[in-house]
Amino acid sequence: MKWLVNLIRGIFGIIEKVFEIFSMGMLIAMTLIICYQVIMRGIGRSPSWSEEVAIVLMIWFGILSIPIGVKLHLHIGIEYFFKKFPVRVQWIVSRLIYLLITAFGVVMITSGFELVERMSRSTLPATKLPSAVKYAVIPLAGLTLIYNALELFFVSYQRFLQQPEEDAGQMN
């Protein structure tokens, strides 16, 4: 059974690494496209596709950042109140939070597939790509979000206690 857990961790590790590399590439591409658009607008020849492509890249970047943020404990938390709880309650509350994040991942998968299916009937005006391209990443990000949330959910109480002070607070 341990080999299966290691296999799943390896697969999702590769997926997350691809997400990170792809996200960096999207940031670079967005920057270059927007700079190109501004320069071309200055000479009166702004390309029609540039804004549309930059928006698609921004949507993808934002959606791919969700599971990465959960894994790295970068999601929003109310530290002040969370730290007032006893450590055992902090651990229990963090379990509840990870279950809610998992539920959100399920919604991302189901609604994402529905959104992609509905949007596939129309096209983006400038590039003529299917509108579904904007949202095609949602189900995959939802799956990765579920994996990250469940991995954090199953952190033992002892491991939760062993985390450095700055990390323990970010477990909420």
pLDDT, tens digit, for every residue of 23-47? Answer: 999 999 999 999 999 999 988 888 9
Name the pLDDT band for 146 (thresholds 50, 70, 90).
Answer: very high
Domain boundaries, the chain: 2-169
Q: What share of the chain is helix, strand, coil (3-state, %, to 5)?
A: 80, 0, 20
pLDDT, tens digit, for every residue of 51-88? Answer: 999 999 999 999 998 998 888 888 777 777 888 899 99
- Global pTM reads 0.81
